[in-house]
Amino acid sequence: MGVEDQPIRSIIVDDDKSIGDVLKELVSSKQVFVKVFSDGHEALEFIRNQPVDVVITDLMMPNVGGLEVLSLAKTMNPDSIVIIITGHGTLETAIEAVREGAYDYIKKPFNLDEFQIAFDNAVEKIRLMRKNEECLQELKAACDQLIAIKQAYSEHEKEPAVTQQKRARLNFFSTNLPNLELLRKANEDQQRLFERLRHISRLKKDGLLTEREFKALKTHIIKGLEMFSNH
Looking at 73, 102, 133, the residue that finishes a domain is: 133
Please give the residue range of the domain that contains residue 178: 135-230
Q: What integer best gives the mean pLDDT of the chain?
A: 77
Q: Are residues 181 and 212 in the same domain?
A: yes
Asked whether residue 2 is assigned to any structural domain, the reply reads no
With residue 16 as reference, give the H or E element that holds it.
Answer: none
Q: Are residues 49 and 97 in the same domain?
A: yes
pTM, 2 dp: 0.60
Question: Is 14 within 8 Å of 57 (Cβ atoms)?
Answer: yes
Q: Are residues 113 and 148 in the same domain?
A: no
- pLDDT tens digits, 92-128: 777 888 888 889 888 888 889 999 999 999 999 998 8
CB contact set of 220 (below 8 Å; sequence gap of 6+): 180, 183, 184
Looking at 94, 116, 133, the residue that finishes a domain is: 133
Question: Is 65 within 8 Å of 40 (Cβ atoms)?
Answer: yes
CATH code of the domain containing 129 = 3.40.50.2300
Q: Are residues 14 and 124 in the same domain?
A: yes
Number of domains in the chain: 2
Q: Are residues 110 and 97 in the same domain?
A: yes
Show the DSSP H helices in 77-189 as ranges. Answer: 91-99, 112-156, 161-170, 178-184
Query: How many other C-beta atoms lie within 10 A of the C-beta of residue 31?
Result: 12
- pLDDT tens digits, 179-200: 444 444 444 456 676 777 777 7
DSSP assignment letter at 50:
S
Looking at 117, 133, 149, the residue that finishes a domain is: 133
Give bridge partners of residue 106 from the DSSP assignment.
Answer: 85
- pLDDT tens digits, 5-34: 688 999 999 988 899 999 999 998 888 999
Q: Are residues 112 and 38 in the same domain?
A: yes
Under the phi-then-psi rule, with left for phi > 0, alpha for psi from -120 to 50, and beta for the rest, what region is 122?
A: alpha
What is the model's pLDDT at position 186? 42
Asked whether residue 1 is assigned to any structural domain, the reply reads no
CA 210 to CA 197: how far, in whole Å?
15
Task: Give me the half-sphere count of Cα atoms (radius 13 Å) on the Cβ side of residue 62.
Answer: 5
Q: Are residues 203 and 93 in the same domain?
A: no
